[in-house]
Amino acid sequence: MSEPHRVKVVAAPPALAIETSGLTKRYRRVTALSECSMVVPEGRICALIGPNGAGKTTLLRMLAGLAAPTAGTASVLGGTPRQDPAFLADIGFLAQEMPLYRRMSAADHIKIGAHLNSRWDGESARARLLGLDIPLGRAVGTLSGGQRAQVALALTLAKKPRVLLLDEPVAALDPLARRHFLGTLTSAVAETDGALTVVLSSHLIADIERVCDYLILLTRSQVQLAGDIEDLLAEHKVLIGPKKDTGALAATHTVVHTTTTARQSTLLVRVGGPLIDPAYEAADISLEELVLGYMGASAAPAYAGLTTVAEG
């Protein structure tokens, strides 16, 4: 188990749903996203994690063609995000506030969608909402937050997108509504048999652990970590051992984060080879530890000397 997943069946590399290179967004004084380079393979449910203000919304909005990058490029399904029906037809975007026309009903929205989209499956949206006992005829402004989120999601799915971008979709929902929302989402992904790629930003590690299989970690407007969650978990270990110089260790492995007490050091390392130092006890890492480790590494500049973060 201490061996990283090095040996893999050689297969054709999976098609990329999303690819960004040096993607940067600056507002007047603030850099919202800096030199973001990452990929999301097709068919994944990718978690976009990061503290507030890390640039998650900015990244999603640029991928959806709502905002233009200051520098760098983004490619979604092989095309540059833009205000073009051909591009927009493949994109589903759900903003955090789940914007809908409050005075209109879900049925109205389904009808609007049919007028605004060349590819539209209003029937599935209607069936999905009826299955959830959501009144189709009531103004969406009078629905509960969870119901509204379901309406917004059903409308987004009715577009039959190939890439679904969800900005904090469950942040405002109670646990039950959250579960139902994620159930709708995962069902939709299952129905498409790998043709739908999802990027969803969230703070809730437990949800991510159950729903997502890919991870992008943004902190301070930069990508800290990106990859298949299982691979990432296999590549990282927690080492607990005496407080000592980590120079030898850092030669083979990447020390992401170190916490030290008077006698003991706890290291989060990205494994670069066999772990042979008997002074350390190696343990598998949970997703939460991994995420917190990388967030902590970037949050505390005092550790800068130790935190040589590997490319994602």
Partner 1 sequence: MSWLVWRQYRAQGAIALALLAGFGAVLIVTGAQMASQWHSGLASCAASGTCAKLAQTLSLGSPLGRDFVLLSNLVPALLGFLWGAPLVAGEVEAGTRAYAWTQGISRTRWLLVKAGWLLLAAAAWGGAVTALTTWWYGPRNALYASAFQPNTFDTQGIVTVGYSVFALALGVAAGALTRRTLPAIAITIGGFIGMRLLISEVVRQHYLTAVTAFYNPLQAFAPPGPAWTLQQGVMDKYGQVFTGGNGPEVNGVPFSALPANCQKFIMIDPGTMTKTSLHAAVTCMQASGFRGFVTYQPASRWWAFQGIETGIFLALAAALIAAALVVVRRRDA
Partner 2 sequence: MIGFRVDGRSGVPPYLQIVQQVRQALRMGVLGVGDQLPTVREVVAAVAVNPNTVLKAYRDLEREGLVEARAGQGTFVLARPAGPPPGTHSRLGRSLARWVHEARSAGLDDESIESLLRVTLQAGGSTGFLGEGIA
Positions touching partner 2 (CB under 8 A) are 43-45, 179-180, 182-183, 185-187, 189-191, 205-213, 230, 233, 286
By beta-carbon proximity to partner 2, the closer residue of 64 and 233 is: 233
Phi, psi of 116 (to 5 degrees): -100, -10
By beta-carbon proximity to partner 1, the closer residue of 57 and 246 is: 57
Which does residue 207 touch among partner 2, partner 1, none (CB within 5 to 8 A, set by kind)?
A: partner 2
Of the listed pieces 47-55, 77-85, 189-197, 239-247, which binds partner 1 according to CB under 8 A?
A: 77-85
Which does residue 230 touch among partner 1, partner 2, none (CB within 5 to 8 A, set by kind)?
A: partner 2
Which does residue 99 touch among partner 1, partner 2, none (CB within 5 to 8 A, set by kind)?
A: partner 1
Which does residue 145 touch among partner 2, partner 1, none (CB within 5 to 8 A, set by kind)?
A: none
Of the listed pieces 93-101, 170-178, 219-227, 301-309, which binds partner 1 according to CB under 8 A?
A: 93-101
> What residue type is assigned to position 152 of the chain?
A
**Cβ contacts of 171 within 8 Å, gap of 6 or more:** 96, 202, 203
Largest CA distance in the chain: 67
According to DSSP, residue 140 is labeled: G
**CA 201/CA 156 separation, integer angstroms:** 16
**CA 76/CA 19 separation, integer angstroms:** 7
Judged by phi (left if over 0) then psi (alpha if -120 to 50, else beta), residue 53 lies in left
Of the listed pieces 13-21, 91-99, 200-208, 247-255, which binds partner 1 according to CB under 8 A?
A: 91-99
Query: Coil, helix or strand for 177?
Result: helix
**CA 265/CA 119 separation, integer angstroms:** 56
Report if residue 118 touches partner 1, rule: CB under 8 A: yes
**CA 162/CA 126 separation, integer angstroms:** 20
* Binding to partner 1, residues 124-183 (CB under 8 A): 152, 159
**Which residue carries 């490029």 as its tokens?**
73
By beta-carbon proximity to partner 2, the closer residue of 166 and 212 is: 212
Q: Is 224 exposed, middle or buried (0-12, 13-18, 19+ CB in 10 A)?
A: buried
Structure tokens at 18: 């999303």
Report if residue 74 touches partner 1, rule: CB under 8 A: no
Interface residue with partner 1 among 3, 5, 101, 259 (CB under 8 A) is 101
**CA 201/CA 187 separation, integer angstroms:** 18
Which does residue 106 touch among partner 1, partner 2, none (CB within 5 to 8 A, set by kind)?
A: none
Interface residue with partner 1 among 19, 51, 111, 203 (CB under 8 A) is 111
Interface residue with partner 1 among 64, 234, 255, 268 (CB under 8 A) is 64
**CA 272/CA 254 separation, integer angstroms:** 7
Report if residue 85 touches partner 1, rule: CB under 8 A: yes
Q: Is 274 exposed, middle or buried (0-12, 13-18, 19+ CB in 10 A)?
A: exposed
Report if residue 97 touches partner 1, rule: CB under 8 A: yes
By beta-carbon proximity to partner 1, the closer residue of 117 and 222 is: 117
Which does residue 269 touch among partner 1, partner 2, none (CB within 5 to 8 A, set by kind)?
A: none
> What residue type is assigned to position 177 of the chain?
A
Asked if residues 201 and 214 have their Cβ atoms less than 8 Å apart, the reply is no
By beta-carbon proximity to partner 1, the closer residue of 74 and 152 is: 152
Residues binding partner 1 (CB under 8 A): 61, 64-68, 83-85, 88-89, 91-93, 95, 97, 99-102, 104, 108, 111-113, 115-119, 152, 159
